[in-house]
A = this chain, B = another copy of it.
């Protein structure tokens, strides 16, 4: 019987700002995590990801290569980012020229079990639980559904 190669997860070559808390087990590698962030258990954050200060990355979240997240964001439990949209009819299989990047602005809250394709999201956006974000979001507000649509402004809700 053949034995597989076992590679334990862990924290490898991560640049942390001061005051970060990490619940283990996690799989974090070659990424940058800003001051005061909290990283929950069962999270994976991949190479090159940059997370601004003051963010919470909750349990079961997955943040892939080519994602940048602003400050004071909240990435809820099970939320996952995508860089490979299978364009061309299948997975890119490591061909990064076929991946897309995601940029999340400051004070963005992403709901539980939400899924984000490669998009740009402006500051002060709220993504509802279970949403699938397939397009850029350029206006603050509350977005939900599959695919995600704008339901209302955030300001209305704040008043």
Contact = CB atoms under 8 A, between A and B. Distances in A.
Interface in A117-158: 117, 124, 126, 128-130, 132, 142, 145-147, 154-155, 157-158
Nearest to A81: B112
A131 to B, nearest CB: 8
Tier of interface size on chain A:
35 or more
Nearest to A46: B59
A147 to B, nearest CB: 8
Interface string A13-42: 001111111111101000001000001111
The count of identical subunits is 3
Nearest to A54: B93
Nearest to A141: B89
Interface in A30-74: 33, 39-42, 44, 56, 59-60, 62, 64, 74
10 contacts: A2-B19, A8-B23, A9-B23, A9-B41, A27-B59, A41-B44, A64-B77, A76-B82, A78-B78, A130-B146
Interface of A: 1-9, 11, 15-25, 27, 33, 39-42, 44, 56, 59-60, 62, 64, 74, 76-78, 80-82, 84-91, 107, 109, 111-113, 115, 117, 124, 126, 128-130, 132, 142, 145-147, 154-155, 157-158
